[in-house]
Structure 1
Amino acid sequence: MAGFPGSRSAISFDPVHPETFWIRVTVDLSSAATGDRQRDTALPGRDWFDIARFPEATFSATSVRKTGVNTYEAIGTLSLRGIIRSVILPFTFDRNGTTAP
């Protein structure tokens, strides 16, 4: 499976009280797995993630806006390779009892 298995996240979201929303995601860039051995070998290098200097990427947000029935946008910042940018991250919130898978 492709992705970043070394990622960690913490989220607090109550759709009834969106003003209390926050999220923090930390991605261990050395854990990149694409399923392509050549690409996976290249990604940690200086031309791509440069994990020797920038081992992690982070996304954090403290603001959310509703865009549809179960759809939202998290407004926050992404830090990657020492560069910080404002980012809007769309997401879907589906509650299943007391959890949101």
Structure 2
Amino acid sequence: MKKVFLTFATLTLVATMSLAQTKWKMDGAHAWVNFSVMHQGLSFVNGSFSKFDATIEANSKDLKGAKLTASIDPASVNSGVERRDKHLRSQDFFDVKKYPKATFVSKKFKKAGKNKYKIVGDFTLKGVTKEITMDAKVLGNFETKKGSKMGIQATTTINRYDYGISYAKGKNAPNGKEALAGDIKITINMEFVAKK
């Protein structure tokens, strides 16, 4: 009985070691978080955030069942126009003094094709949490002497009204289009590193 127990314990340990989690840390020098919103039905206003972080924990190389955790500092918004950025930091939009962080925590990391995934999780912005789905694709990966590298692109669309950002809601431009659309497209491009 003792030998059986020892054999079972050894197998369990080996299995646990084989499923040891790999932690992927974002490479901040090669990462972008961009957004786009329609203005007056005429053009898109584009912007980005310069301060953010993300990690992925995975038990397998194909990322199935992995966990993504990310945060953004809304005060780091940059749309190319300082006056507009100041407005975006105000209570009309991000209210950064009261809500200094936006976060995402995944609940599901599902395979959706070759190198493609559906990442479902909770996105919190301005104190409101909603479940969103990101369409993600692994753009490439390879090994280096220092560890593994991987590139991921993910996109999603959120509605700002869901998060209490209702500035100009119901107001239209002379062409009848929304002065500022509710839908915000978010595009994330990131390189991750798993150190040996």
User: TM > 0.5 between the two?
Assistant: yes
The answer to which of 3-12 and 41-50 deviates more is 3-12
> Counterparts in 2 of 1:7-26, with a 5 A limit?
7-13=52-58, 14-16=60-62, 18-19=64-65, 21-26=66-71
Return the alpha-carbon distance in structure 2 between the equivalents of residues 45 and 75 of structure 1: 29
**What TM-score do the two structures reach when normalised by structure 1?**
0.87
Aligned-partner residue type, residue 138 of structure 2? F
* Structure with more strand by fraction: 2
What SS does the aligned partner of 1:93 have? Answer: strand
Q: How many angstroms does 1:67 deviate by?
A: 1.4
4+ long deviations beyond 3 Å: 13-17
Matches of 1:86 and 1:73, distance apart in 2 = 13
Matched, 1:63 2:108: yes
1:94 matches 2:139: yes
TM-score by length of 2: 0.47
**Cα shift at 1:16:** 3.5
**Distance change (3 Å), C-alpha of 1:92 and 1:43:** same
Listed as ranges, the gaps of 5+ residues in structure 2 are 1-31, 33-46, 143-147, 152-196
Larger Rg: 2
Structure scoring higher RCO (CA < 8 A, sep ≥ 6) equals 2
Contact 2:116 2:137 in 1 (8 A): yes
Contact 2:107 2:122 in 1 (8 A): no
Deviation of 1:17 after TM superposition, in Å, equals 5.5
After TM superposition, give the deviation of residue 15 of structure 1 in Å. Answer: 4.4
Aligned with 2:98 (options 53, 63, 82): 53
Residue 89 of structure 1 and its aligned partner are, at CA, apart by 1.0
Compared with structure 1, are the counterparts of its residues 12 and 95 closer, same or farther at alpha carbon in structure 2 (3 Å cutoff)?
farther
Question: How many percent identity over aligned positions?
Answer: 23
Per the alignment, residue 128 of structure 2 pairs with 83
- Larger relative helix fraction: 2
In structure 1, stretches of 5+ residues that fail to align are none
Match of 1:32 in 2: 77
Q: What is the Cα-based RMSD across aligned positions, in Å?
A: 1.7
